[in-house]
Structure 1
């Protein structure tokens, strides 16, 4: 390694030799940098999983425009929307079809354990609003009490989910009603529930008798081929008399939901602060190591300074040490972080994975905060007088 660094820097790798001279301190420093990396990786993984879980239910449907109540910041939050506004929207020549979407959590008490399903009530007659490939059994929802379960839901045994089919349905009690799972689809657990469930709007209303078919949670609209979504949204805002409604494209609704979860919901803010804390921990650890190393070698640095070496020479040595700590600390950090995310993902069924983007981001961040720590550590040396160091 010494020869490789000597060729790379074009000089003796003084920083590397100083770090490796005390191997115990060097190992402790690497462990500290790796710990900071692991902390950032876990927090970034949680943030990314929250984003994926937020956008996941939007993938279940295909629509061009969504109409929601003014306070509906998320798919499962906010007031209801009068179905009459869907009838007004259908008057636009570019709107081909509309469907009311009902959303709520349904708890399945399994006796000692329970599974919370984020449930969607849809009109089975409007097959075009369900995303292709999600399920081929949507017609089964026309049977009263029939549902399609998320086979990846937390708490649902895989063998039990695998046995669900029209010939061998699964009956269970929820909300005081008997539901019959006729088929399954691949969803996955999220932060708002353990999984997802599809049912007809009539089955949904039987579970929530206080709700009415005249007031779904959202209205989904599909446009005719070739229609301009933005122009249609603008026309609908003038056509629909209730100006408090949120009328936006389906894609914009998903992104607004994501921003809301990341910037206004406590969970997203906490994860963001976790990333910041991990970075600060890394800066402090590297600074402490480099500051102690500078203090240990002040006499040697004073000799170099008296010989005429300038501040750039000393800055180069300390930055060399910072980069060595950052690079060598990143490798165990990414390996341990990947293992922790895989374990958490297996336990929670959340989409917790190490992505190339995460690895590159943390690597660049590690190099930057290591270099910043090195620059701060050299300030003491730059201000020192060689005559005072002997």
Structure 2
């Protein structure tokens, strides 16, 4: 197919302005697809960061739970029933809810996600949690997510500026004196932020607090201690999570759902992909980008073929088949795909960095994403070439001679 590549290249470069317009059109389509896919992957990755940080093999939830921020409670007794099974090492109840945060800086109010658990147990594995977990045993003391939205105020900066605090979240080294706290109001109750951890935001969570189960119930007095949001189950070494999940699901009543960690994460992703319009919007945006690129490349190829129709007819008269001429068109389409992909990819890298800083969402350029978009770009351009082939078929040597 590429034995006569110079012919396709020479035809494209004959009019540099047209080639530049085609490359710009493809680059725009590539950029749009990269951004849509990037935000889509960031949506799902950020949605399950909390799930991934839970130290457990199996999880109990209420089947009516929609997603992490909109949970339904179930009886804590269900979780303790699990302790009777061989292979279960430990269980931990976890409370989760949205609470109203009142900024100590400007008085503004906004929702914040708050999680409570037994501070004597290792339930959440996030940078900063282990070394600060001792402080949430104190009444009305919480930990604040260092990667929360800036609208919550410079809480982290205020804590970090304290001379008594040596903070290195990246390496997990944090030293905080109990007196070095920031006082805020949550759910109309004055509390103290005694330390920081790092998780990050998502489409459903702008900021997060971690505290003890007792502090959680103080902040939300309408919640019953016997009703929990998530049951975290740790299994003994060598026990199959899938096999134990099936055993527990068959034993426990239908008012709870048993999930593996992977199943727990996939359930959350499925909510955002199917129940909310966000997943559809991102997919639709990527399709629109491909359609725009397809139309632009088709117009460029059609115009190029029209300009060289006499040459194509001459080649037919010389004995060249339609198959050969088709290969030239597909070569042009592939060249346009590669030339447009490179600038689109480079601009996307820059925009990923800008968007991640602005939104605090995990926008990452992965090899699988790069190859996927490259494949879609080549397919888009080849589809444009296939549509434009009708013009090549119309090339008749009799019109020239």
Shared fold by TM > 0.5? Answer: yes
Task: Tell me how far apart the structure 1 counterparts of residues 224 and 92 of structure 2 sit (CA, whole Å).
Answer: 14
C-alpha spacing 1:161/1:303, structure 2 compared with 1 (3 Å): farther
Q: Does 1:128 align with 2:122?
A: yes
| Alignment partners' CA distance in 1, 2:300 and 2:33 | 20
User: Structure 1 stretch 136-145 or stretch 38-47: which is displaced more?
Assistant: 136-145
Selected match of 1:147 from 132, 142, 161: 142
Whole-Å separation in 1 of the counterparts to 2:93 and 2:2: 66
| 1:337–1:112 CA distance, 2 compared to 1 (3 A) | farther
Corresponding residue to 1:321 among 321, 327, 332: 332
1:54-103 Cα shifts (integer Å, max 9, x gaps): 12111332111111111224222231111111122222122222222111
**Aligned equivalents of 1:228, 1:320: Cα separation in 2:** 52
Change (3 A) 1:169 1:42: same
Residue 92 of structure 2: aligned partner: 99
Q: CA 1:221 to 1:199, structure 2 compared with 1: closer, same or farther past 3 Å?
A: same
What is the Cα deviation at residue 29 of structure 1? Answer: 0.9
Q: Is this contact kept in 1: 2:5–2:331, CA < 8 A?
A: no
Tell whether the 8 Å contact from 2:142 to 2:192 is kept in structure 1 after alignment. Answer: yes
Residues 335-362 of structure 1, C-alpha deviations (whole Å, 9 max, x = no match): 1111111101011111112222222221
Distance 1:108 1:318, change over 3 A: same
Asked whether the 8 Å contact 1:81–1:215 carries over to 2, the reply is: yes
Question: Aligned partners of 2:159, 2:33: CA distance in 1, in Å?
Answer: 35
C-alpha contact 2:89 2:234 (8 A) present in aligned 1: yes
Question: Structure 2 stretches of 5 or more lacking a match?
Answer: 166-175
CA-atom RMSD in angstroms: 2.0
Q: CA deviation at 1:250?
A: 2.4
- Determine if the alignment matches structure 1 residue 231 to structure 2 residue 229: no
Is 1:119 aligned with 2:117? no
- Range that drifts further, 108-117 or 188-197: 108-117
Q: Cα–Cα, structure 1 residues 12 and 367, in superposed 2: closer, same or farther, change >3 Å?
A: closer
CA displacement, residues 207-249 of structure 1 (integer Å, 9 cap, x when unaligned): 2222111111121111222222222222212322x22421111
For residue 10 of structure 1, report the CA deviation from its aligned partner.
3.9
Report the counterpart of residue 283 of structure 2 in structure 1: 272
How far apart are the structure 1 equivalents of 2:5 and 2:89?
A: 73
Q: For each residue in 1:304-349, what CA deviation from the matched residue of structure 2 results, as whole angstroms up to 9, or x when unmatched?
A: 1222211111111111111111111111101111111110101111
Cα distance in 2 for residues equivalent to 1:346 and 1:42? 15
Shift of 1:201: 1.6
Answering whether residue 165 of structure 2 is matched by residue 171 of structure 1, we say no
Indicate whether 1:78 and 2:71 are aligned: yes
How far apart, CA to CA, are the structure 1 residues paired with 2:83 and 2:336? 63
CA offset at residue 112 of structure 1? 5.9
SS at the partner of 1:13?
Answer: helix
Query: Is residue 133 of structure 2 the alignment partner of residue 138 of structure 1?
Result: yes
Q: Is the 8 A contact 2:37 2:282 kept in 1?
A: yes
Q: Which 10-residue stretch deviates more, 340-349 or 108-117? A: 108-117
**Residue in 2 aligned with 1:40?**
33
How many residue pairs get aligned? The number is 381
The answer for the alignment partner of 1:207 in structure 2 is 219
Partner residue, 2:160:
162
Q: Residues of 1 paired with 2:383 and 2:48: CA distance?
A: 36
Residues 299 and 389 of structure 1 are in contact (CA less than 8 Å); yes or no, is this contact kept in structure 2?
yes
SS of aligned partner of 1:199:
strand
For residues 279 and 107 of structure 2, what CA distance do their matches in structure 1 show?
Answer: 30
Deviation at residue 117 of structure 1 after TM alignment: 2.7
TM-score of the aligned structures, taking structure 2 as reference length: 0.89
Partner of 1:3: none
Measured at CA, do residues 117 and 298 of structure 1 come closer, stay the same or move farther in structure 2, by a change above 3 Å? same
CA 1:73–1:386 in structure 2 vs 1: closer, same or farther (change >3 Å)? farther
Give the stretch that moved more between structures: 277-286 or 339-348: 277-286
Tell me the distance in 2 between the aligned counterparts of 1:43 and 1:306: 47
Do the aligned residues in 2 keep the contact of 1:118 with 1:192 (CA within 8 Å)? no
- The change in CA–CA distance for 1:334 and 1:80 in structure 2 (over 3 A counts) is same
